[in-house]
């Protein structure tokens, strides 16, 4: 499938991923890219041209791909596994558990085209379960950058982090949200907009929709805080507790099932530490109908205006 | 070690393994007895290793993919000096680092966590590939069970090893002809293994996997392709009443059986 052509101010985060990986690989000869016949979809063409012997393509064999990556790490290589997120996580979940997470192998798992990026290709190709599957595994930070700047920063951070992680990338165009030169900090939310009436929390392709929703709310006289929560695990408890205490209501939105993902992770913190009304937006536990990623996000109530409406309704439930 | 010494060591490992399983009241004794000659040859003759430097980058890699026979590995590691021999008595006890399947973050000498079947060979392919990329001259060995070869992930790895021309990789299949519930032939027969591996581009040696001379010679073989040793073994090898009996996959001997087994292994 061809990727949607982003408009001039929207960027495919895969480009930032690929450029950063190539730059890091030029500096560190231990870096290898591991893939499952996914050179094109992972944008590894440039890497392959520069470091052909360091592209370990196992073919269409995801279980082996993860095991091989664990073995490469054992042998002193620094593997970035680059594959479509639904297959990387779903097909090889037990390998991720035993070979990567439980063995604590220094492997960077990069799930490309996550969420509903493969929209029209249907639910087999949607990766809307991966937060749930990955975030229950110990030793495995789960990260969904919101733009090309955060993507580059997270890819660079991963190289210096001594342990495995899961980076969840999309192919759907998103605008720049974080400032140039932003450095990724594991488990640290970014407050993108100040506000005291409600907090909107998202990551990945939803953060910019939250920013638009906040603008709509501002026109209605409602001041929404926006948190970009790229790290789903370990989660920024302090930022969530502060949001609950200071704004009294939280809306989450994610390109994922409402079960087990970002919203669930936020709700766990809220329930334990600072119960306030919440609304979790996402895919409501069904297989999505046919449509593009953008269409489906709108379909499931995550158009900016719909998010704003949900926030407004939630505010009415706040305790006086 | 010479062959005679290796045979004596294998007998000691069998006796200690038997005692550990008897005392713990659990274990996988049948598959442990079948694989112990291979483990002994690896750890006391073939592997380049440093027990006091278990992470030395130049070490040969060994993966026990049939992780349920961990007790045999623990005893071997203890005899070789990786962990204290007294620690074997903690096998399966609360908070012991010696649980039913090996943990690389707790037990020195263990390279990767195994237990679910079909995991070790893909990881071993990665280890061998890493050496090919870096120019390291270590060799990678992996032992799978024969029933385990029913896992599709192994065949993904077998294809990749041939594609990558991993001449620094040796797969030993502990071919004892039994899996947990029945014989392979009554379950999902994968024998004969040799033509399958050869068709996938591997060089194959078939041996008596409970004959130390044959085991050592096969492990020391180097060819121009990934190498598979089909080791014909006996489940429960060395203990007459366990031998080739499927119920001894994970049965535990009672006191009387334990004493007979000790006597048989001691006489051997």
Rg of chain A over CA atoms, in angstroms? Answer: 19
| Contact between B153 and A64 using a beta-carbon 8 Å cutoff | yes
Closest chain B CA to residue A106 = B112
Q: How far is A256 from chain B (nearest CA, A)?
A: 28
Q: Assess A57–B contact: CB distance below 8 Å, yes or no.
A: no
Place B14 in a pLDDT band, splitting at 50, 70 and 90: very high
The percentage of residues in chain B with a pLDDT greater than 90, rounded to a whole number, is 96
Q: How far is A44 from chain B (nearest CA, A)?
A: 18
Place B267 in a pLDDT band, splitting at 50, 70 and 90: confident
Alpha-carbon distances, residue A91 vs A94, A95, A133, A198, A280 (angstroms): 8, 9, 11, 38, 27
| Contact between B126 and A95 using a beta-carbon 8 Å cutoff | no
Q: How far apart are CA A102 and CA A71, in angstroms?
A: 14
| Contact between B115 and A98 using a beta-carbon 8 Å cutoff | yes
Q: How far apart are CA A317 and CA A314, in angstroms?
A: 5
Helix axes B120-134, A62-74, angle to 10 degrees: 50
Asked if pLDDT for residue B161 goes beyond 60, the answer is yes
Contact A291, A302 (CB under 8 A): no
Q: How far apart are CA B51 and CA A99, in angstroms?
A: 23
B contacts of A74 (beta carbons < 8 Å):
61, 111-112, 123, 126-127, 130
* CA max distance for chain B: 54
Closest chain A CA to residue B101 = A98
Three-class SS of A221-284: CCCEEEEECCEEECCCHHHHHHHHHHHCCEEEEEEEECCCCHHHHHHHHHHHHCCCCEEEEEEC
Contact A280, A303 (CB under 8 A): no
Rounded to an integer, the average pLDDT of B26-39 is 96
Beta-strand relationship, A78-84 and A31-35: parallel
The tokens for A30 are 């231990």
| ipTM value | 0.96
Q: What is the pLDDT of residues A119-149, one digit of tens each?
A: 999 999 999 999 999 999 999 999 999 999 9
Q: What is the pLDDT of residues B225-259, one digit of tens each?
A: 999 999 999 999 999 999 988 899 889 999 999 99
The ranges assigned to domains in chain B are 3-267
Q: How far apart are CA B2 and CA B10, in angstroms?
A: 12
Closest chain B CA to residue A53 = B133
The tokens for A171 are 């192919």
Across chain B, mean pLDDT equals: 97
Rounded to an integer, the average pLDDT of B129-151 is 98
Q: Assess A58–B contact: CB distance below 8 Å, yes or no.
A: yes
Beta-strand relationship, A78-84 and A108-112: parallel
Q: Assess B111–A contact: CB distance below 8 Å, yes or no.
A: yes
Q: Which of B103, B119, B131 sits opposite A67 (nearest CB)?
A: B119
Rg of chain B over CA atoms, in angstroms? Answer: 17
Q: How far is A25 from chain B (nearest CA, A)?
A: 14
Q: How far is B56 from chain A (nearest CA, A)?
A: 11
Rounded to an integer, the average pLDDT of A8-15 is 90
Q: What is the pLDDT of residues A75-128, one digit of tens each?
A: 999 999 999 999 999 999 999 999 999 999 999 999 999 999 999 999 999 999
Q: How far apart are CA A307 and CA A157, in angstroms?
A: 31
DSSP state of A52: G
Calculate the CA dihedral of residues A180, A184, A188, A193 and round it to 10 degrees. Answer: 10
B contacts of A30 (beta carbons < 8 Å):
134
- Looking at chain A from residue 82 to 111, which residues have their Cβ under 8 Å from any Cβ of chain B? 94-95, 98-99, 102-105
B contacts of A72 (beta carbons < 8 Å):
126-127, 129-130, 133
Q: What is the pLDDT of residues A221-273, one digit of tens each?
A: 999 999 999 999 999 999 999 999 999 999 999 999 999 999 999 999 999 99
Asked if pLDDT for residue B165 goes beyond 80, the answer is yes
Contacts of A126 (CB under 8 A, 6+ apart): A86, A115, A116, A118, A119, A287, A288
Q: What is the pLDDT of residues B182-227, one digit of tens each?
A: 999 999 999 999 999 999 999 999 999 999 999 999 999 999 999 9
Q: In chain A, what are the domains? A: 13-168 (3.40.50.970), 190-315 (3.40.50.920)
DSSP line for chain B: --HHHHHHHHHHHHHHHHHHHHHHT---HHHHHHHHHHHHHIIIII----TT-TT-TTSPEEEESSGGGHHHHHHHHHHTTSS-GGGGGGTTSTT-S--SS--TTTSTT--S---STT-HHHHHHHHHHHHHHHT----EEEEEESGGGGSHHHHHHHHHHHHTT-TTEEEEEEE-SB-SSSBGGGT-----HHHHHHHTT-EEEEEETT-HHHHHHHHH---SS-EEEEEE--TTTT-TTTTT-GGGGS----HHHHHHHHHHHHH-
Place B34 in a pLDDT band, splitting at 50, 70 and 90: very high
Contact A128, A283 (CB under 8 A): yes
Contact B23, B246 (CB under 8 A): no
Q: Assess B199–A contact: CB distance below 8 Å, yes or no.
A: no
Residue B188's CB: how many other CB atoms inside 10 A? 11
Q: How far apart are CA A232 and CA A235, in angstroms?
A: 5
Q: Which of A64, A71, A79 sits opposite B156 (nearest CB)?
A: A64
Asked if pLDDT for residue A320 goes beyond 70, the answer is no
Bridge partners of A46, per DSSP, are none
End-to-end CA distance of chain A: 51
- Closest of A131, A132, A157 to residue A144, by C-alpha: A131
Q: What is the pLDDT of residues A264-310, one digit of tens each?
A: 999 999 999 999 999 999 999 999 999 999 999 999 999 999 999 99
Would you state the pLDDT for residue A7?
A: 61
Would you state the pLDDT for residue A1?
A: 44
Across chain A, mean pLDDT equals: 96
Phi and psi of B10, rounded to 5°? Answer: -60, -35
A contacts of B156 (beta carbons < 8 Å):
58-59, 61, 63-64
One of 3.30.1490.20, 3.40.50.300, 3.90.700.10, 3.40.50.970 is the CATH number of B3-267, namely 3.40.50.970
Rounded to an integer, the average pLDDT of B107-126 is 98
Place A319 in a pLDDT band, splitting at 50, 70 and 90: confident
Asked if pLDDT for residue A4 goes beyond 90, the answer is no
């Amino acid at each position: 499938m061809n990727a949607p052509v982003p408009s001039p101010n929207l960027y495919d985060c895969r480009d930032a991923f690929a450029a950063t990986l190539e730059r890091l690989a030029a500096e560190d000869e231990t870096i290898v890219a591991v893939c499952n016949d996914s050179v094109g979809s992972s944008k590894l063409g440039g890497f392959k041209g520069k470091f052909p012997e360091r592209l370990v393509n196992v073919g269409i064999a995801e279980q082996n791909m993860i095991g091989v990556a664990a073995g490469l790490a054992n042998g002193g290589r620094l593997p970035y596994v680059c594959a479509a997120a639904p297959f990387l996580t779903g097909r090889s979940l037990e390998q991720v558990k035993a070979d990567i997470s439980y063995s604590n192998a220094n492997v960077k798992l990069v799930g490309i085209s996550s969420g509903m990026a493969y929209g029209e290709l249907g639910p087999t190709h949607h990766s809307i379960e991966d937060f749930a599957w990955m975030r229950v595994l110990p030793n495995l930070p789960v990260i969904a950058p919101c733009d090309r700047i955060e993507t580059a920063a997270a890819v660079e951070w991963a190289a210096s982090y001594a342990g495995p992680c899961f980076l969840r990338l999309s192919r759907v165009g998103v605008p720049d949200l974080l400032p140039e030169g932003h450095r990724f900090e594991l488990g640290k939310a970014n407050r993108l907009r100040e506000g005291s009436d409600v907090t909107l929390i998202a990551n990945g392709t939803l953060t910019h929709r939250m920013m638009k929703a906040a603008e709509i709310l501002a026109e209605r006289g409602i001041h929404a805080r926006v948190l970009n929560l790229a790290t789903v695990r370990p989660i920024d408890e302090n930022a969530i507790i502060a949001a609950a205490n200071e704004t009294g209501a939280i809306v989450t939105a994610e390109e994922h099932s409402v079960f087990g993902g970002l919203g669930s992770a936020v709700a766990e913190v809220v329930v334990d530490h600072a119960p306030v009304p919440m609304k979790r937006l996402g895919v409501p536990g069904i297989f999505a109908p046919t449509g593009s990623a953008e269409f489906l996000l709108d379909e499931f109530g995550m158009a900016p205006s719909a998010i704003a409406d949900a926030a407004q309704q939630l505010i009415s439930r706040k305790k006086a | 070690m010479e062959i005679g010494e290796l045979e004596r060591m294998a007998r000691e490992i069998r006796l200690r393994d038997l005692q550990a399983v008897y005392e713990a009241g659990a274990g996988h004794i049948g598959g442990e007895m079948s694989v112990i000659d291979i483990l002994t040859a690896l750890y006391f003759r073939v592997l380049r290793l440093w027990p006091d430097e278990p992470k030395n980058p130049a070490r040969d890699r060994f993966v026990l993919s049939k992780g349920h026979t961990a007790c045999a590995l623990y005893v071997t590691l203890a005899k070789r000096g990786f962990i204290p021999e007294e620690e074997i008595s903690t096998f399966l006890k609360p908070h012991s680092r010696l649980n039913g399947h090996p943990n690389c973050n707790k037990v020195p000498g263990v390279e990767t966590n195994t237990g679910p079947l079909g995991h070790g060979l893909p990881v071993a392919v990665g280890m061998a590939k890493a050496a090919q990329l870096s120019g390291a001259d270590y060799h990678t060995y992996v032992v799978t069970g024969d029933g385990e070869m029913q896992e599709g992930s192994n065949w993904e790895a077998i294809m990749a090893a041939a594609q990558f021309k991993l001449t620094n990789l040796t797969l030993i299949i502990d071919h004892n002809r039994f899996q947990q519930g029945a014989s392979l032939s009554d379950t999902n027969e994968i024998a004969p293994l040799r033509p399958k591996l050869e068709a996938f581009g591997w060089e194959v040696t078939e041996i008596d996997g409970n004959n130390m001379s044959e085991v050592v010679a096969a492990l020391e073989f180097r060819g121009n392709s990934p190498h598979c040793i089909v080791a014909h073994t006996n489940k429960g090898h060395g203990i007459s009443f366990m031998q080739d009996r499927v119920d001894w996959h994970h049965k535990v001997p009672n006191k009387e059986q334990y004493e007979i087994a000790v006597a048989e292994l001691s006489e051997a």
